[in-house]
Amino acid sequence: MRIGLIGGGNIGKFLLQSINNDGLLPGGKIVCIYTRNQEAARELAAEFDTENYSDIESLIQSNLDLVVEAATLQVVRDYGAGILASGKDLVVSSVGALADVDFYKNIEEICRESGAKIHLPSGAIGGLDVLKAAKSIGELESVSITTRKPPQALPGAPANQEQVMFEGSAAEAIELFPKNINVSIILSLAGLGPAQTSVKIISDPTVRKNSHSIEATGSFGTLSLTVENDPMPNNPKTSYLAALSVLSILKNKDAVIKVG
């Protein structure tokens, strides 16, 4: 599997180390990368034996099987359609881009025409299999998520007191906290949609880890799940599990037996 990577931050570096250096994806390699910081990109390319591209269009047109986005919502909005139209599969890390209904429908249609597929990692949460099962017969009634993070992970949060930073729908949350609440969008896509998924974001100076508490009800019964994540080193905004879920997508993409 020939992989192109967009993004040289924590998740991108984790994938480069895991795949190109540690060999955790047999038969797969990140063969090229793009990141806005070209000085950093050249260093990454040298360290991890890959090719650096100075623009995304060149990366898209290169000989790839799949592109991994580990950058920003705007990258997905600007280049997602072009990647898929080229026939390449796309792994989307910034799943918040799919909260836009029109954008979602557009890239869905492009996939039908090109035969490409979009892969959405589960990110820093669990329970998606339960929501998808209940949704399959239209008997999912409510879904909510409460996210609790240390103040340094949330822009504008007070340093010395707990505070509810947001309460509303997932669609609203992703616009205000695009780097913090992608989990609400993947939850909504598995369940009731961004407008019907309730989100609460709490800044808590007493915690050191990111936690996500999910509640759901339906004909299946009730779901109550809390995931407490260690943040990635040097970046409290990103949960380590989010990076692991991207690697999991790649490892299971061509599996002949799939679970869930």
pTM of the model: 0.91
Q: How many CA atoms lie within 13 Å of 173's alpha carbon, on the beta-carbon side?
A: 34
Number of helices (H) and strands (E), helices first, in the chain? Answer: 9, 13
- Work out the angle between the directed axes of helices 101-114 and 73-85 (0-180°, nearest 10): 20
Q: How many CA atoms lie within 13 Å of 195's alpha carbon, on the beta-carbon side?
A: 2
Q: What is the CATH code for 2-120?
A: 3.40.50.720
Q: Please, what is the average pLDDT of the chain? A: 93
Alpha-carbon gap, residue 33 to 49, rounded angstroms: 10
Residue with tokens 């954008």: 103
Per-domain boundaries in the chain: 2-120, 128-237
212 is catalytic: yes
Alpha-carbon gap, residue 94 to 24, rounded angstroms: 23
Q: Is domain 128-237 given the CATH code 3.40.1710.10 in the classification?
A: no
Alpha-carbon gap, residue 71 to 188, rounded angstroms: 21
Output the pLDDT for position 208.
87
Do 21 and 46 form a contact (C-beta atoms < 8 A)?
no
Instruction: Kindly list the distances between the CA atom of residue 165 and the CA atoms of 65, 177, 198, in Å, as whole numbers in the listed order.
Output: 41, 10, 14
Residue with tokens 């898929």: 84
Alpha-carbon gap, residue 134 to 218, rounded angstroms: 7
Considering Cα of 164, then 168, then 171, then 175, what sign does the dihedral take? negative
Q: For residue 94, what pLDDT band results from cuts at 50, 70 and 90?
A: very high
Output the pLDDT for position 21.
97
Q: What percent of the chain has pLDDT over 90?
A: 83
Write out pLDDT tens, residues 48-65. 999 999 999 999 999 999
What does 91-121 look like in DSSP terms, one character per residue? EES-GGGGGSHHHHHHHHHHHHHH---EE--
Catalytic residue among 193, 212, 238, 247: 212
Say whether 128-237 and 2-120 share the same fold.
Answer: no
Q: What's the chain's Rg over C-alpha atoms?
A: 18
Per-residue tokens: 93: 């890390």
Write out pLDDT tens, residues 81-91. 999 999 999 99
